[in-house]
C-alpha cells in the first residue's frame, strides 16, 4: 500500500473515517507496508508525527503518535492544536485515543483497561483553544468524551475483554515529572481514579472542532505507590518510573491494539458527533492559512 513520495495539494488531502492518537508505547498501528504517511502542514506548526493512513476495523483510519515516533516530545510541549487540526482537516469525525495512566484508586490496579468519562485539569500554560482570535467560543465540557462513542466502546470491550473499567475520572497533571505521594493522595481525595499528562488540552480541542472523542486508558502503575488497597494505603508497592511504564506498555501492546481495533470497528459509518461549537466557527478555524501544502515525507 506504500506509495512513492508525491506532492499533494490541499484539495488532494486523503479522507478518513476515524482517527487514532497513540499514547506512550503505541508508535505504530498498521502492519509494515500497509499504510501511507502524510505530513499535514497546519497553522500551528508540525504534528507530533507524520500521519499514517490505513485500514483498521473496516474503516479508513488516520493514526499519529502524540509523543513522536521516538518518544521525544514531552507532554507539556506536544503540539496539541496542530495534531487535532490535522485530523480535522483529514475529515475525522471521531478520535479514539490511547493513554498510559497511573492508578490512584484501589479499584484501578495496574493492568486495568479504562474507558475514561471525566477529567480534572491540573495543567497550566498550554495552548488550549482554537478560539483565541476572530471569535470567542465557550465549549460545553460537562461530558468531555462523546457519550455515543463511550457507549459503543463499552459494548465493544465487554465482548472483547469481559473485565475492564467502563468509566473513570482522570486527573491530568502538567508533567513531565510524576506525582509526589502527597499529590497522589490529593488526586484520590479529589475523586480521581487515574492520573495522566496529555488528555488536556487534546480532548477539549477536539470538542472545539466538533470531533467526538473516546479514550482507552491502560493502567501501568500505582502512581506514587499509594493505591493497592483501602486498608493499607501505605503498602510497599512499586512506584512509577518511565522504565516501568514502558515495560508494561510493551507487554500489553497487542491487547491495546486489539481493543482499539474493536472500538474502531464498532463506530457506525454514519456516526455524527455532537455540535458543541457552531459549524461556521469551526469552518473558520479550518480555513486558517497553513505554512505549506500537505505532502508525503521525502
Cβ atoms 20, 61 nearer than 8 A:
yes
Q: Which residue in the list 70, 223, 230, 236 is annotated as catalytic?
A: 223
Q: Specify whether 223 is catalytic.
A: yes
Q: What distance in Å separates the CA atoms of residue 126 and residue 273, rounded to the nearest whole number?
A: 25
Q: Is the N-terminal amide bond of 176 cis, ω within 30° of 0?
A: yes
Helix, strand or coil, per DSSP, at residue 236: coil
Of the CA atoms within 13 Å of residue 258, those in its CB half-sphere come to 10
Strand partners, 170: 119, 194
Question: Of 151, 221, 232, 270, which is the active-site residue?
Answer: 221
DSSP E strands in the chain: the ranges are 18-22, 35-38, 51-56, 59-65, 94-103, 113-115, 118-122, 169-173, 194-196, 212-221
221 counts as catalytic: yes
Q: What is d(CA 147, CA 142) in angstroms, rounded to the nearest whole number?
A: 11
Nearest alpha carbon to residue 40 among 207, 290, 298: 290
147 Cβ contact list (under 8 Å, min separation 6): none
Active-site annotation, residues:
221, 223
Amino acid at each position: 500500500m506504500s506509495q512513492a513520495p508525491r506532492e499533494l495539494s490541499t484539495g488532494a488531502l486523503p479522507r478518513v473515517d476515524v482517527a487514532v492518537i497513540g499514547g506512550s508505547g503505541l508508535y505504530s498501528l498498521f502492519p509494515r507496508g500497509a499504510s501511507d504517511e502524510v505530513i499535514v502542514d497546519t497553522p500551528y506548526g508540525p504534528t507530533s508525527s507524520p500521519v499514517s493512513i490505513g485500514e483498521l476495523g473496516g474503516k479508513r483510519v488516520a493514526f499519529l503518535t502524540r509523543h513522536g515516533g521516538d518518544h521525544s516530545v514531552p507532554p507539556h510541549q506536544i503540539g496539541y492544536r496542530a495534531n487535532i487540526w490535522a485530523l480535522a482537516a483529514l475529515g475525522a469525525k471521531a478520535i479514539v485515543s490511547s493513554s498510559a495512566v497511573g492508578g490512584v484508586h484501589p479499584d484501578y490496579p495496574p493492568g486495568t483497561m479504562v474507558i475514561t468519562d471525566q477529567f480534572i485539569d491540573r495543567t497550566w500554560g498550554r495552548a488550549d483553544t482554537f478560539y483565541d482570535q476572530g471569535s470567542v467560543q465557550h465549549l460545553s465540557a460537562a461530558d468531555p468524551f462523546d457519550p455515543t462513542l463511550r457507549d459503543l466502546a463499552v459494548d465493544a470491550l465487554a465482548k472483547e475483554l469481559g473485565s475492564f473499567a467502563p468509566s473513570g475520572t482522570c486527573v491530568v497533571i502538567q508533567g513531565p515529572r510524576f506525582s509526589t505521594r502527597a499529590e497522589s493522595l490529593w488526586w484520590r481525595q479529589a475523586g480521581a481514579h487515574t492520573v495522566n499528562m496529555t488528555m488536556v488540552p487534546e480532548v477539549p480541542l477536539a470538542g472545539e472542532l466538533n470531533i467526538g472523542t473516546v479514550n482507552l486508558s491502560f493502567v501501568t502503575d500505582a502512581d506514587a505507590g499509594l493505591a493497592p488497597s483501602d486498608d493499607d494505603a501505605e503498602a510497599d508497592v512499586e512506584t512509577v518510573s518511565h522504565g516501568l511504564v514502558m515495560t508494561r506498555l510493551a507487554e500489553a501492546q497487542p491487547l491495546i491494539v486489539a481493543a482499539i481495533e474493536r472500538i474502531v470497528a464498532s463506530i457506525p459509518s454514519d456516526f455524527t458527533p455532537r455540535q458543541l461549537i457552531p459549524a461556521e466557527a469551526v469552518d473558520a478555524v479550518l480555513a486558517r492559512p497553513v505554512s505549506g501544502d500537505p505532502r508525503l515525507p521525502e
